[in-house]
Amino acid sequence: MNLNITLLGQALTFGVFVWFTMRRVWPPLLSAIQTREQTITEGLAAGEQGRRQLAIAQQEAEACMADARVKAQAILTNAQAQAQALLDTAKRQANAQTLQLRLQADQQIAQKWEVLKHQLGAELGKLVIAGTEAALKIQSTTSQAQRQWVQQVIEQCSIR
């Protein structure tokens, strides 16, 4: 056999193999590769879209949280102001009530003081009259009787 014919036969066979591969094998492989490439591209795009949406959602959540913090602070400040106003009102009412009770107590004390002054005056008058009567009775008596009389007056004063 001749070497040239062998090489020519091998070249022809290789050509037929390349042609067959290009017509029958290569298109399904390219189609599968393109489909896979498109799937990967779509997946990457979806992933990127998901990241963007996540970033937007995080920004919205942070804005919502900041808004909620501001509203909560406003509510807290308002509640503290209302509590302070209620506390001030209660203090004013308590002070007014204390003043009123103090005035009533002062009036009651003044009334009792007047009653006691009148009672004391009446009792003093009775003691003076009793002392004067006793003094008139013992005016002519001895010093021993005077001592007894002073002792009786002291006992009467200390009993009442």
Q: What is the mean pLDDT of residues 37-57?
A: 95
Task: Give the contacts of 134 (CB within 8 A, at least 6 positions apart).
Answer: 149, 152, 153
- DSSP letter (8 states) at residue 140: T
The per-residue pLDDT of the chain, averaged, comes to 88
Residues whose CB is less than 8 angstroms from the CB of residue 66 and which lie 6 or more positions away in sequence, other chains included: none
Which residues are CB-contacts of 158 (< 8 A; sequence separation ≥ 6)?
none
106-121 confidence digits (pLDDT tens): 999 999 998 888 888 8
- The two structure tokens encoding residue 145: 């009787």
Percent of the chain residues topping a pLDDT of 90: 67
Predicted confidence (pLDDT) at residue 71 exceeds the cutoff of 90? yes
Q: 127 or 31: whose pLDDT is higher?
A: 31
Inter-axis angle of helices 143-159 and 26-137, nearest 10:
160
Higher-confidence position of 98 and 147: 98
| Residue 49 clears pLDDT 90, i.e. is over it | yes
pLDDT value of residue 13: 96
pLDDT for 110 equals: 93
**Mean pLDDT value of segment 63-77:** 95
Whole-prediction pTM: 0.44
Helix (H) or strand (E) holding 160: none
Domain ranges of the chain: 3-159
Q: Report DSSP state, residue 150.
A: H
The rounded distance, in Å, linking the Cα atoms of 95 and 44 is 75
Q: What is the mean pLDDT of residues 119-136?
A: 77
Say whether pLDDT at 79 is over 70: yes
Q: How confident is the model at residue 128 (pLDDT cuts 50, 70, 90)?
A: confident
Q: Taking residues 61-75, what's their average pLDDT? A: 95
